[in-house]
């Protein structure tokens, strides 16, 4: 028990203690959560503009916690990301994604899955080899796997990240810069990164209908992306108006609630089937 002042241990408010306790629990329980099936991968479709062809999906994790119920990644990823456990998460999601791609290929569908990387993966020089092994094991063409990374995760350790990215890029895996336009992302630096795709952060896409500066940012990113020969993806597309604006700008791919929320695998399959029937 913490006693105020003595032994340099500071007393903390009970509410604060509960937050730390919960984080501590999430870290200690995470490995078991993966192994026991509490972590579930959901899929959110990506559609090529201006048409309706589904080009693939982004894999997004959810945790069905026995005590706390459904936890969204924004609560547990930052906690897990500070530990080596995030390596196990990436490996798990990658495995699910490749199984999904293989399943589609076996049914005559050529669609990609995007997996989110953490800053630790980018600093891990053995990561590209593990991706190559996994692609080979499932007999997947590398261009059907997209890996999403943020610019800040690259900048956290540029010296280590750049060789990892170059290696993945040379293998033929598609690399996407996520959350583009936020933080310290610099437009100029983008051309030094071996990437194929930019994803406009959803905050701008969500705001583009009502905020002229958001609209300007979206337009600028589409133009910049194309001038660098990159595919441009907009996430957070929630209504027809923003979709139509994006089409007008020449944005390549849309993702968002307008199409579908992230869905568990079986529901994603049902969504796909209903869509192709229409």
Among 71, 85, 93, 231, binds ligand C2E (CB under 6 A): 93
The dihedral through the CA atoms of 129, 130, 131, 132 has a sign that is positive
Collapsing DSSP to helix, strand or coil, 19 comes out as: helix
116 lies in the binding site for ligand C2E (CB under 6 A): yes
> Would you say 87 or 270 has its CB closer to Ca ion?
87
Q: How far is the CB of 81 from ligand C2E (least distance, A)?
A: 7
Q: Per CB under 6 A, does 236 bind ligand C2E?
A: yes
CB 168 within 8 A of CB 162: no
* 60 is a contact residue toward ligand C2E (CB under 6 A): yes
- Residue 85 binds ligand C2E (CB under 6 A): no
77 lies in the site for ligand C2E, by CB under 6 A: yes
The distance of closest approach from Cβ of residue 164 to ligand C2E in the complex, given in angstroms and rounded to an integer, is 15
Q: Is 225 in the site for ligand C2E (CB under 6 A)?
A: no
Residues in the chain: 278
Give the footprint of Ca ion on this chain (CB under 5 A).
Answer: 116, 148, 178-179
Q: Does 164 engage in binding with ligand C2E (CB under 6 A)?
A: no
Residue 74 in contact with ligand C2E, rule: CB under 6 A: yes
Smallest separation, CB 197 to Ca ion (Å): 11
Helix (H) or strand (E) holding 65: strand 54-65
Q: What are phi and psi of 2, to 5 degrees?
A: -85, 130
Task: Give the nearer residue to ligand C2E in terms of CB position, either 9 or 30.
Answer: 30
Q: Does 197 bind ligand C2E (CB under 6 A)?
A: no
Q: Choose, by CB under 6 A, the member of 256, 263, 268, 272 that binds ligand C2E.
A: 256
C-alpha separations of 32 from 38, 60, 73, 79, 246 in Å: 8, 19, 17, 16, 42
Task: Classify burial at 20, counting beta carbons within 10 Å of its beta carbon; exposed 0-12, middle 13-18, buried 19 or more.
Answer: exposed
Q: Say how far apart CA 123 and CA 78 lie, in whole Å.
A: 17
């Amino acid at each position: 028990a913490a006693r105020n002042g003595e032994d340099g241990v500071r007393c903390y408010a009970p509410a604060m203690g509960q937050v730390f306790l919960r984080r501590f629990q999430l870290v200690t329980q995470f490995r078991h959560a993966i192994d026991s099936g509490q972590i579930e991968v959901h899929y959110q479709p990506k559609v090529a503009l201006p048409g309706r062809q589904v080009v693939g999906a982004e894999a997004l994790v959810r945790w069905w916690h026995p005590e706390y119920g459904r936890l969204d990644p924004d609560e547990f990823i930052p906690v897990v990301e500070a530990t080596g456990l995030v390596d196990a998460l990436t490996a798990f999601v990658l495995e699910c994604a490749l199984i999904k791609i293989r399943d589609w290929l076996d049914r005559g569908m050529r669609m990609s899955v995007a997996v989110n990387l953490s800053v630790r993966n980018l600093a891990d020089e053995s990561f590209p080899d593990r991706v190559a092994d996994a692609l080979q094991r499932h007999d997947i063409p590398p261009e059907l796997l997209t890996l999403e990374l943020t610019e800040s995760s690259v900048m956290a350790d540029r010296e280590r990240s750049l060789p990892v990215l170059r290696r993945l890029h040379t293998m033929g895996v598609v690399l996407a810069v996520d959350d583009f336009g936020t933080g310290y992302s610099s437009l100029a630096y983008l051309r030094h990164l071996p990437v194929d795709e930019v994803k406009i952060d959803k905050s701008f896409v969500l705001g583009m209908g009502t905020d002229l500066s958001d609209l300007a940012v979206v337009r600028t990113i589409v133009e910049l992306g194309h001038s660098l020969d990159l595919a441009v993806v907009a996430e957070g597309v929630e209504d027809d108006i923003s979709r139509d604006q994006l089409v007008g700008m020449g944005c390549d791919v849309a993702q968002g609630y307008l199409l579908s929320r992230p869905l568990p695998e079986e529901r994603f399959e049902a969504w796909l089937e209903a869509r192709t029937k229409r």
